[in-house]
Amino acid sequence: MKVAIIATDNFEEKEMTEPRKALDHAGAQTVLIAPNKGRIRAIQHDKPSETYIVDMALEDANPDHFDALMLPGGALNADRLRVEKKALDFVRQMDREEKPIAFICHAPWIIISARLARNRHFTGYHTITDDIINSGAHYEDVEVIRDSNWVSSRQPSDIPAFNREMLKLFAEHVPAHA
């Protein structure tokens, strides 16, 4: 299974690295995608952390070449990506094809800006509760929610549950060629 991970500068480090490790360990091929090639900087809460090599520029990423999508959080990361047309188009196409999507923390902003939230059930970081509700989605303050082809979680402390449900969802969608 080939999994796209879309992020940009100031993504929450554990929300990318821990799910990516879980996916890699399960045998998935993960590809870190960002608006620009090069490196992107992680944060740990509000402190700058490591930089990570981008595997592919967003403009070169074709949703047809991926089986699943994972969106890490971080307020600045999600806020930037929610206005990136190519990121929104990528998310829309993945959802239209009912490919699995996992997102955590502030990443629901991307889902909301892609106009996919109405009548869906998901969670996110407590500071964006109103955004989720105002988008027409059903919000619940729990560590993980699965709704059809989506898995969502609130924050880094939810990562064990997030990884468990993400792996379960993604395993149900392993393509025939895998």
Q: Where are the domains of the chain?
A: 2-172
91-117 pLDDT, tens digit per residue, is: 999 999 999 999 999 999 999 999 999
Please give the average per-residue pLDDT across 130-147, as a whole number.
98
Which residues sit opposite 102 in a β-bridge? 70, 151
Topology of the domain comprising 2-172: Rossmann fold (3.40.50)
- pLDDT at 177 > cutoff 80: no
> What is the reported pLDDT for 176?
67
Active site residue ranges: 106
Q: What is the mean pLDDT of the chain?
A: 97
> What is the reported pLDDT for 178?
55
Q: Does the reported pTM lie above 0.85? A: yes
User: Could you give the CA distance from residue 82 to residue 80 in angstroms, rounded to a whole number?
Assistant: 6
> What is the reported pLDDT for 51?
97
For residues 146 and 176, the model is more confident at 146
- Phi/psi of residue 11, each to 5°? -80, 150
- pLDDT at 136 > cutoff 80: yes
32-41 pLDDT, tens digit per residue, is: 999 999 999 9
Helix (H) or strand (E) segment spanning residue 24 = helix 13-25
Please give the average per-residue pLDDT across 3-24, as a whole number.
98
The angle, 0 to 180 degrees and rounded to 10, between the axes of the packed helices 159-172 and 13-25 is: 40
> What is the reported pLDDT for 174?
82
The pLDDT-based confidence of 175 (bands split at 50, 70, 90) is: confident
- pLDDT at 121 > cutoff 60: yes
